[in-house]
Chain A
């Protein structure tokens, strides 16, 4: 806990420095770059790549959350109960697909660019959120649910004021999994010409420039770490 208090601000500063002032890292990265080759990626600003990377992840995760929670609510109501076993099977199979495969399948359908990446992130992001939301909504304390009925809450009032708030920590765990996967998967989006931090890594791989690979990799890694950490804190606060 104490180490987190020091480490967290340090990592935030490190991330900002790497994105906003990449030249500061020239001395560190120079040994990794090919001789006379560029040390710092300059074809596009790292800041704008980071923003576009985060934008893709945010858009995909937000829509995945809305759709997945909506579906989870549906299959846990009496009218949707018939779909529960099927939807769980589909989710379990879906999660065994590697994200790259989802991306590869999206390209033929949607062409190159941000579109297929967004779709792949969205589809893949649905699974853990749906899975957790269903679990959260189905494992509420029975006595509490009974009391909610007993005092006269209507079905929709029960959902809004009791079920969703109580399931929220579990749902958020799913969102966190999904966001972290999306942050990593988005880098692969650059292979189909989406503007993400993957661009830096791929440029490095193509030109044998380890400095680029490290730069792109570390920024993505730090983003994932800090966002993950933030969401864990949020979950803790909500379930306390």
Chain B
């Protein structure tokens, strides 16, 4: 559990983070979302003490971070920096293996882990292992940066806009990979983004920041249903709200008995995907692969504005 307690950071006149308090449960993904300059990075960087708070405290499992040796604290926390920050004079493999090496892992184990991570991020180990960051595309650099943060399988990971430079397809896959890894390892992830879509897709909890303040901290469904302010509503994009709501629910929630024609949809698909399939193929109902069907009317009812 990470407890952020009245954390404030001032840079001269600007208050980058203004008395933020929130609790991040172990084994969950918390996404911090907000416009540029709202203090997301600064808040995150106070957790691993890259920035020292002006006031307030961070506790990890009850232990105040202020009393720990900064570099030892940071070794326990994976960190994917905004803009990757790879070491230009080290190969991809050496970059990814940096933290395991610090922790004294045996060489063979590090090499194995590096290849595993490269494969996970769809980069052929043989082709990429020995290259230098300067020879990679922006998206590849970013994936190596995220791989470096994951390398030692830390319990806590901080990721600052880890998918910003990825194209939509790879981005989507990287998000799914991250969610899967997180579920497998049960790690606690705090991720910064300015993309509400990403926040809703990935977050168990979403923290919305505006001008240094935490304006809402809640489950994605709650944020969509009850945005705490006009700012949060704007972040959500009013016209997209019904679709965002649907993207959080699954076909399995609405299966009813009966048949329907055409291509079947998986019970794990989101209602948004089901709606899309209905509209695209002009059908009023879809068969569900696992049995039963889902109707357009039922989906529509879920997208209505909550009372």
Contact = CB atoms under 8 A, between A and B. Distances in A.
Interface of A: 141, 143-144, 146-155, 157, 162, 165-166
B191 interface: no
B98 A150 contact: no
A148 B87 contact: yes
B75 interface: yes
Interface string B84-100: 11111100000000110
B74 A147 contact: no
B71 interface: yes
B81 A143 contact: yes
Contacts of B89: 165-166
A147 B71 CA distance: 12
Contacts of B83: 143
Contact of A147 (B70, B73, B86, B102): B86
A151 B98 contact: yes
A163 to B, nearest CB: 11
B9 interface: no
B79 A150 contact: yes
B272 to A, nearest CB: 36
16 contacts: A144-B85, A144-B87, A147-B84, A147-B86, A147-B87, A149-B74, A150-B74, A150-B79, A151-B74, A151-B79, A152-B71, A152-B73, A152-B75, A152-B76, A153-B102, A165-B89
A150 B85 CA distance: 10
B30 interface: no
* Chain A interface mostly: helix
A53 to B, nearest CB: 35
A61 B127 CA distance: 42
Contacts of B148: 151
Candidate in A148, A149, A150, A153 with the most chain B CB atoms within 10 angstroms: A150
Nearest to A238: B89
Contacts of B50: 146, 149-150
B88 A154 contact: no
B169 interface: no
A144 B83 CA distance: 10
B72 interface: yes
B184 to A, nearest CB: 22
Interface of B: 48, 50, 70-77, 79, 81, 83-89, 98-99, 102, 145, 148
B71 A154 contact: yes
Contacts of A147: 79, 81, 84-87, 145
Contacts of A154: 71
A146 B79 CA distance: 10
B85 A152 contact: no
Nearest to A149: B50
B81 A152 contact: no
Given A150-B50, A151-B98, A166-B88, 20 more contacts: A143-B83, A143-B84, A144-B86, A144-B87, A146-B50, A146-B81, A147-B84, A147-B86, A148-B87, A149-B50, A149-B70, A150-B48, A150-B85, A151-B74, A151-B148, A152-B73, A153-B71, A154-B71, A157-B102, A162-B87
Contacts of A143: 81, 83-85
A150 B88 contact: no
Contacts of B145: 147
B85 A146 contact: yes
A152 B151 CA distance: 13
B130 to A, nearest CB: 15
Contacts of A153: 71, 102
Nearest to B134: A240
B88 A152 contact: no
A83 to B, nearest CB: 24
A185 to B, nearest CB: 34
Contact of B71 (A146, A149, A166): A149
A133 B238 CA distance: 55
Contacts of B71: 149, 152-155, 157
Contacts of A146: 50, 81, 85
Contacts of B76: 152
Nearest to A145: B85
A157 B71 CA distance: 10
Candidate in B71, B81, B83, B102 with the most chain A CB atoms within 10 angstroms: B71
Candidate in A148, A149, A166 with the most chain B CB atoms within 10 angstroms: A149
A170 to B, nearest CB: 13
A151 B73 CA distance: 10
A146 B82 CA distance: 10
A148 B102 CA distance: 12
A152 B74 contact: yes
A144 B82 CA distance: 11
Nearest to B74: A152
Contacts of A166: 88-89
Contacts of A144: 85-88
A168 to B, nearest CB: 9
